[in-house]
């Protein structure tokens, strides 16, 4: 389900002091996320930022498997979930109330205070999770706060977006770097001069030159990013098997069939009594791994 696109993650390094940077632009992948759900316009900016943020984080955090960024709140936007794999495939979704209490352009009010949860999950199921409480309903500031509190790594992000494109710039002081505070302040001040339309339209070389032409920068090869959902009928089947035959039979007696929608890509998986019987017969002979 991935599509050819102009979606790329770029990594760069300030060679004279320990600061790393990234720039990402999401076009087709961001539109793919929007096509699969009818998100109201007041939800989209925060969802686009979360998707952009997880892509940037996938370039800095060491992990194998998947990296999931979640913001959970009691406000109008109840959950923002975005996931990246080490192959730079991404997916994202939002949960939200039907009628928001905050004004549609009040992003801080719509998300409110939240918990930021960052999870890495290796293919063998090994998980690492970091959680911080974040204030003020701002995705960008929340990620900055996460690094400050849980990793003690000064980090800054800049983002811009609309229904077609989201773009983000990321700077981080490397651990154990010898950088002087004034160098860090200077590159952040330079990055602060970026305008939204520059983030959204300039190619990476032009953008970096415009901001940092007096610094010595090394730009690495671009890494393509694509939307892909990891759901499958087999995964849903495994979940049903782990529920147990008794519970599944009971649901089937009540509802006739079991229908599961993937919240990320909207794919629908349906199992009737015959499918379920086949599943449990198969499970007896070769027990599948529980997810």
Pairing of strands 217-219, 8-14: antiparallel
For residue 265, state whether it binds Zn ion (rule: CB under 5 A).
Answer: yes
- Judged by beta carbon, residue 260 or residue 267, the one nearer Zn ion is 267
Q: Which of 9, 32, 84, 262 binds Zn ion (CB under 5 A)?
A: 262
* Binding range to Zn ion, per CB under 5 A, among 33-41, 96-104, 159-167, 226-234: 226-234
- Judged by beta carbon, residue 129 or residue 232, the one nearer Zn ion is 232
For residue 264, state whether it binds Zn ion (rule: CB under 5 A).
Answer: yes
* Binding range to Zn ion, per CB under 5 A, among 49-57, 65-73, 140-148, 266-274: 266-274
Least distance between Zn ion and beta carbon 229 (Å): 3
For residue 90, state whether it binds Zn ion (rule: CB under 5 A).
Answer: no
Binding-site string for Zn ion from residue 110 to residue 129, where x marks contact by CB under 5 A and - marks none:
--------------------
Q: Which of 67, 81, 157, 229 binds Zn ion (CB under 5 A)?
A: 229
Using only C-alpha atoms, the chain has a radius of gyration, in whole angstroms, of 21
Q: Which of 231, 237, 240, 276 binds Zn ion (CB under 5 A)?
A: 231
Beta bridge partners of 38: none
For residue 23, state whether it binds Zn ion (rule: CB under 5 A).
Answer: no
Binding site residues, Zn ion, CB under 5 A: 229, 231, 262, 264-265, 267
């Amino acid at each position: 389900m991935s599509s050819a696109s102009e979606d790329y993650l770029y990594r760069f390094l300030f060679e004279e002091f320990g600061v790393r940077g990234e720039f990402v632009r999401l076009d087709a992948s961001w539109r793919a996320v929007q096509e699969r759900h009818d998100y109201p316009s007041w939800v989209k900016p925060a969802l686009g930022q979360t998707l952009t943020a997880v892509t940037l984080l996938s370039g800095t955090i060491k992990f194998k498997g998947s990296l999931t960024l979640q913001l959970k709140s009691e406000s109008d936007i109840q959950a923002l979930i975005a996931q990246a794999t080490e192959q730079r495939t991404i997916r994202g979704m939002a949960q939200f109330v039907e009628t928001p209490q905050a004004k549609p352009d009040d992003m801080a009010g719509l998300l409110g205070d939240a918990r930021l949860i960052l999870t890495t999950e290796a293919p063998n199921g090994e998980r690492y999770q970091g959680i911080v409480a974040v204030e003020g309903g701002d995705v960008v500031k929340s990620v900055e706060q996460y690094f400050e509190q849980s990793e003690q790594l000064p980090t800054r992000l800049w983002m811009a977006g609309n229904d077609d494109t989201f773009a983000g710039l990321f700077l981080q002081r490397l651990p154990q770097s010898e950088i002087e505070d004034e160098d860090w302040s200077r590159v952040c001040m330079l990055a602060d001069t970026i305008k939204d339309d520059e983030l959204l339209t300039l190619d990476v070389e032009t953008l970096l030159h415009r901001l940092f032409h007096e610094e010595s920068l090394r730009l690495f090869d671009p890494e393509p990013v694509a939307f892909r959902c990891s759901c499958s009928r087999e995964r849903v089947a495994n979940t049903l098997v782990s529920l147990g035959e008794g519970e599944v039979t009971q649901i089937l007696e009540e509802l006739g069939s079991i229908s599961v929608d993937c919240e990320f890509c909207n794919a629908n998986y349906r199992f009737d009594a015959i499918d379920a019987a086949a599943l449990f017969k198969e499970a007896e002979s070769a027990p599948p791994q529980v997810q």
